[in-house]
Amino acid sequence: MSAQSKPIIGAPGRIKPRLKGLKALATHQTFRRISQLGFASFIAFLVIQHVVIGENGAVVTASAEAFCPFGGLEMLNKFITGGGAFISLTHLSNVILLVAVLAVALLLRSAFCGWILHR
């Protein structure tokens, strides 16, 4: 018996029927996958935009490193130990992203790892 064909057990002695049609698609797992796909598409769009336009184009685009919250950890270490110096590829926005990710991870527990990253 596969995991797909197992009935959902509700109250003791009762078996709930499986949802069919659109109700079966409207699960939290579907919304989680959509969220992950949205974040991956956004990052892919930014990277492609940066590669196509480049840093010397008429429109200034941020590199992929500017959207990485873990670059904020590197930058924060360099900022504290280097007397206020920044790493050239990072920006203060990395620290803001790091604080936001840590706040979301602490407040919503598995929101970052479960809804944004694919584990």
Residue 41 pLDDT: 92
Asked if residue 30 has pLDDT above 70, the reply is yes
Q: How many domains does the chain have?
A: 1
In a domain, 38, yes or no: no
In a domain, 39, yes or no: no
Secondary structure letter of residue 16 according to DSSP: E
In a domain, 109, yes or no: yes
The number of residues in the chain equals 119
- Residue 61's φ and ψ, nearest 5 degrees, are -115, 150
Domain residue limits at 70: 47-119
Higher per-residue confidence, 61 vs 11: 61
Asked if residue 43 has pLDDT above 60, the reply is yes
pLDDT above 90: percentage of residues in the chain: 1
pTM comes to 0.60
Give the residue from 105, 93, 106 showing the smallest Cα distance to 114: 105
From the number of C-beta atoms within 10 Å of its C-beta (0-12, 13-18, 19+), residue 51 rates as exposed
Residue 9 pLDDT: 58
Give Cβ neighbours of residue 68 (< 8 Å, ≥ 6 apart).
Answer: 94, 97
Asked if residue 2 has pLDDT above 60, the reply is no
